[in-house]
């Protein structure tokens, strides 16, 4: 964030600097034009004076007939002084063909030009050669810098002398200085001959060749000046170039002055630019510091909030963990209790089933007992009559009947035994058959046909044999009850098959089927529609619990042609 705001501050300060520089540049150009026209206006004011003077008859007479007449010369000088008073030029004077000053507006002053020869001045040369002269120089007598303008004086088409006006430009310099402006004018040598700052005067912006120096000396243009170089180093600033003069930086704008070989320079201090930039940087730094402090404050606040929140969350988490541990413990205990209860229920269910089946079982056992009794009686007779063969047969029959009873009681013992869940690969077909053997006596007494359709291959599930037997005993028993007292064919049909990775069993009967309200409560413990004392309403809830323990499903429905069906489905156990 800070580097980008730093960049923004930098860009802003650069942009502001650049726009300030641009503004200054535009203002400079305007000022330059103004100063240039000031200067030109000042010079123009006197431009026609030499021309006007050159046509004056007295001037011509002075240059011809009265060139040695001091009285006449003074008359002309007086005239020049009067004219100068009106015109407010610096000096007006008349030179003869040799460059001698014959009359001058300052003839009565100490610095009078009269008697002096100025033939060395270029403006004199120009006039004598028929041109208008224009020349800036420091006065050799007055030491006052001025601009000289000359004009030839003609008599019968020949040049007899020159009229000259010297314009003092010092007031102009003073004006610039008073206005606090930095203005300077350089000649074709780069010499500063007009400047708002005195210390810049007669310094040169560049090296002057010896030839030029000699010429300057000869024409005495700038007196005894040595033309020290004013160093003007250039440096880049805010997309512009700064000129460094005397250790100060300026934005320098230069224009050529029309009809001359001069250049006017306008220098504006770039303090305003750097000041602007400094202000912006200061503001920027201020903003950055504020942002930094703000960001630190926000960060600290946020960290405080975060750490408080984290502490609260940690506390909460600890609470939740404790709560969870309590709940887990609770669930474990409940599960244990439930399992014990379920085991109890299973046991109760088994005993209930045994109770219900007891009559049929008793009948089943009574039969062989009676047969044994019969055979025992027969054995006695056969012994007496030495019928060894018959005796042998009777004893074999007794033995087989005893064995049959043993099987029945063994199955009952097994079934009634209290056992807890033991999951191992179990063949569901075996459980189906074993259960039907157990219930066989009841099927028989009730005249029920049991059709078991089980695949020849093993149908393994992760199960518990005894529990599975119980499932099928319960389903058979319910089927028996549902078909009790019904006319027609009584059939219990059991079909088991492997479908994909599942083992499915359908147990259907031809009994009463379910009434609608029964279906929704089928697996509720203690739900029964039976009025006899043995029906506890536990059979299906126990069945449901066992099937769920074995990761299986049970679904009851009415058959379309009457009777009920239970569809059981278990995940198939695949031996590795
Ligand atoms: P109980 O046999 O002691 O009533 P169950 O839980 O075994 O308890 O059965 C609950 C009820 O479900 C039965 O009372 C009976 O109404 C109904 N039921 C179970 N199996 C059958 C079936 N094969 N045909 C019709 N109704 C059935």
The pLDDT tens digits of the residues spanning 279-302 come to: 655 666 676 777 788 888 888 888
For residue 461, how far is its CA from the centre of ligand 1 (angstroms)? 26
The DSSP code for 385 is T
Let me know whether 493 and 549 are in one domain: yes
Place of tokens 């393994």: 460
Q: What is the mean pLDDT of residues 360-369?
A: 69
Poorest-confidence range of 7-21, 115-129, 518-532?
7-21
Let me know whether 146 and 55 are in one domain: yes
Q: What is the mean pLDDT of residues 339-355?
A: 64
Residue 388 lies inside a defined structural domain of this protein: no
Residue 461 lies inside a defined structural domain of this protein: yes
* CATH code: domain of residue 78: 3.30.450.20
Go through the chain and tell me how many residues it has. 576
Q: Whose CA is nearest to atom 16 of ligand 1?
A: 529
Amino acid 10: pLDDT: 53
For residue 537, how far is its CA from the centre of ligand 1 (angstroms)? 7
Let me know whether 62 and 23 are in one domain: no
* CATH code: domain of residue 560: 3.30.565.10
Residue 361 lies inside a defined structural domain of this protein: no
Of 471, 485, 528, the residue with max ligand 1 atoms within 8 A of its CB, to mutate for a pocket test, comes to 528
Let me know whether 64 and 119 are in one domain: yes
Let me know whether 174 and 27 are in one domain: yes
Q: Give residue 275's pLDDT band: very low, low, confident or very high (50, 70, 90).
A: low
Residue 307 lies inside a defined structural domain of this protein: no
Q: Give residue 568's pLDDT band: very low, low, confident or very high (50, 70, 90).
A: very high
Amino acid 534: pLDDT: 67
Q: Give residue 471's pLDDT band: very low, low, confident or very high (50, 70, 90).
A: very high
Let me know whether 213 and 161 are in one domain: no
Does the beta carbon of 510 lie inside 6 Å of ligand 1? no
Who wins on pLDDT, 496 or 89? 496
Look at residues 279, 305, 330 and tell me which one is the last residue of a structural domain.
279
Residue 6 lies inside a defined structural domain of this protein: yes
Does the beta carbon of 528 lie inside 6 Å of ligand 1? yes
Range of the domain at 547: 421-576
Angle subtended by helix axes 2-54 and 70-87, to nearest 10: 140
Amino acid 478: pLDDT: 95
Let me know whether 55 and 125 are in one domain: yes
Place of tokens 């506390």: 315
Range with top average pLDDT, 14-28, 137-151, 226-240: 137-151
Residue 247 lies inside a defined structural domain of this protein: yes
Let me know whether 137 and 29 are in one domain: no
- Two structure tokens written together for 416: 């009634």
Let me know whether 454 and 480 are in one domain: yes
For residue 465, how far is its CA from the centre of ligand 1 (angstroms)? 23
Does the beta carbon of 512 lie inside 6 Å of ligand 1? yes
For residue 478, how far is its CA from the centre of ligand 1 (angstroms)? 5
Question: What are the angstrom distances between the C-alpha of 475 and each of 209, 483, 489, 543?
Answer: 132, 12, 18, 8
Is residue 466 within 8 A of residue 415, CB to CB? The reply is: yes
Does the beta carbon of 537 lie inside 6 Å of ligand 1? yes
- Two structure tokens written together for 99: 């460059």
Using the predicted structure, report yes or no on whether residue 59 has a pLDDT greater than 70. Answer: yes
Amino acid 556: pLDDT: 96
Does the beta carbon of 355 lie inside 6 Å of ligand 1? no
Q: How far apart are CA 408 and CA 413, in angstroms?
A: 9
Q: Whose CA is nearest to atom 18 of ligand 1?
A: 478
Residue 378 lies inside a defined structural domain of this protein: no
Amino acid 9: pLDDT: 52
SS3 560: coil
Does the beta carbon of 482 lie inside 6 Å of ligand 1? yes
The number of beta carbons lying within 10 Å of the beta carbon of residue 97 is 17
Q: Whose CA is nearest to atom 21 of ligand 1?
A: 478
Three-class DSSP labels, 362-400: HHHHHHHHHHHHHHHHHHHHHHHCCCHHHHHHHHHHHHH
Specify the ligand 1 atom closest to the Cα of 529: 14
Amino acid 420: pLDDT: 66
Does the beta carbon of 536 lie inside 6 Å of ligand 1? yes
Of 481, 555, 566, the residue with max ligand 1 atoms within 8 A of its CB, to mutate for a pocket test, comes to 481
Residue 196 lies inside a defined structural domain of this protein: yes
Let me know whether 551 and 454 are in one domain: yes
Amino acid 160: pLDDT: 96
Average pLDDT of the chain to the nearest whole number: 83
Look at residues 133, 153, 168 and tell me which one is the last residue of a structural domain.
168
Using the predicted structure, report yes or no on whether residue 2 has a pLDDT greater than 50. Answer: no
Let me know whether 159 and 267 are in one domain: no
Using the predicted structure, report yes or no on whether residue 461 has a pLDDT greater than 60. Answer: yes
Who wins on pLDDT, 224 or 414? 224
For residue 416, how far is its CA from the centre of ligand 1 (angstroms)? 21
The number of beta carbons lying within 10 Å of the beta carbon of residue 145 is 22
Look at residues 279, 297, 318 and tell me which one is the last residue of a structural domain.
279
Range with top average pLDDT, 54-58, 216-220, 412-416: 54-58
Q: How far apart are CA 295 and CA 352, in angstroms?
A: 79
pLDDT digits (tens, 9 = 90+) for 396-442: 888 888 877 776 676 666 555 556 667 899 999 999 999 999 899 88
Range with top average pLDDT, 53-67, 227-241, 277-291: 53-67
Let me know whether 213 and 79 are in one domain: no
Amino acid 476: pLDDT: 96
Angle subtended by helix axes 388-416 and 428-446, to nearest 10: 110
Structural domains of the chain, count? 3
Q: How far apart are CA 360 and CA 315, in angstroms?
A: 66
């Amino acid at each position: 964030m800070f580097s980008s705001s730093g960049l923004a501050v930098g860009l802003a300060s650069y942009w502001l600097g650049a726009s300030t520089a641009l503004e200054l540049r535009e203002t400079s150009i305007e000022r330059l034009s103004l100063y240039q026209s000031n200067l030109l206006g000042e010079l123009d004011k006197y431009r026609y004076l030499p021309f006007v003077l050159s046509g004056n008859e007295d001037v011509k007479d002075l240059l011809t007939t009265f060139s040695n007449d001091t009285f006449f010369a003074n008359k002309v000088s007086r005239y020049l002084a009067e004219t100068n008073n009106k015109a407010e030029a610096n000096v007006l004077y008349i030179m003869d063909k040799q460059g001698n000053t014959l009359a001058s507006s300052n003839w009565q002053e100490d610095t009078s030009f009269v008697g002096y020869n100025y033939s060395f001045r270029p403006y004199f040369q120009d006039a004598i050669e028929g041109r208008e002269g224009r020349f800036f120089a420091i006065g050799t007598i007055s030491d006052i810098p001025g601009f000289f303008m000359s004009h030839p004086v003609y008599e019968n088409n020949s040049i007899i002398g020159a009229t000259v006006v010297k314009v003092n430009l010092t007031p102009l310099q003073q004006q610039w200085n008073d206005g606090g402006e930095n203005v300077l004018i350089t000649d074709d040598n780069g010499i500063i001959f007009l400047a708002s700052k005195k210390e810049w005067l007669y310094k040169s912006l560049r090296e002057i060749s010896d030839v030029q120096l000699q010429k300057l000396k000869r024409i005495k243009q700038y007196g005894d000046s040595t033309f020290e170089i004013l160093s003007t180093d250039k440096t880049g600033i805010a997309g512009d170039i700064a000129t460094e003069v005397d250790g100060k930086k300026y934005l320098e704008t230069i224009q050529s002055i029309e009809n001359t070989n001069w250049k006017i320079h306008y220098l504006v201090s770039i303090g305003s630019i750097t000041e602007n930039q400094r202000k912006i940087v200061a503001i920027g730094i201020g903003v950055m510091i504020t942002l930094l402090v703000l960001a630190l404050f926000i960060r600290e606040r946020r960290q405080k909030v975060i750490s408080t929140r984290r502490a609260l969350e940690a506390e909460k988490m600890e609470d939740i963990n404790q709560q969870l541990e309590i709940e887990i413990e609770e669930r474990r205990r409940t599960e244990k209790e439930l399992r014990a209860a379920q085991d109890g229920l299973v046991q109760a269910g088994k005993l209930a089933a045994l109770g219900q089946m007891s009559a049929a079982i008793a009948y089943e056992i009574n039969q062989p007992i009676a047969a044994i009794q019969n055979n025992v009686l027969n054995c006695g007779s056969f012994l007496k009559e030495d019928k060894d063969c018959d005796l042998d047969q009777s004893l074999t029959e007794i033995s087989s009947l005893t064995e049959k009873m043993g099987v029945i009681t063994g199955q009952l013992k097994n079934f009634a035994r209290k056992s807890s869940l033991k999951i191992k690969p179990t063949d569901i077909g075996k459980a189906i058959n074993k259960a039907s053997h157990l219930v066989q006596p009841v099927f028989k007494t009730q005249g029920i046909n049991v059709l078991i359709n089980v695949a020849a291959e093993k149908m393994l599930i992760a199960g518990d044999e005894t529990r599975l037997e119980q499932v099928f005993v319960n389903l058979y028993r319910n089927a028996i009850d549902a078909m009790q007292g019904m006319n027609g064919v009584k059939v219990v049909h059991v079909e088991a098959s492997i479908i994909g990775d599942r083992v499915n069993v359908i147990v259907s009967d031809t009994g009463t089927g379910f009434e609608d309200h029964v279906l929704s409560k089928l697996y509720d413990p203690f739900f029964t529609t039976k009025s006899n004392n043995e029906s506890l309403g536990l059979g299906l809830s126990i069945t449901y619990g066992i099937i769920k323990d074995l990761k299986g499903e049970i679904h009851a429905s009415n058959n379309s042609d009457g009777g009920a069906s239970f569809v059981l489905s278990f995940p198939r156990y695949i031996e590795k």
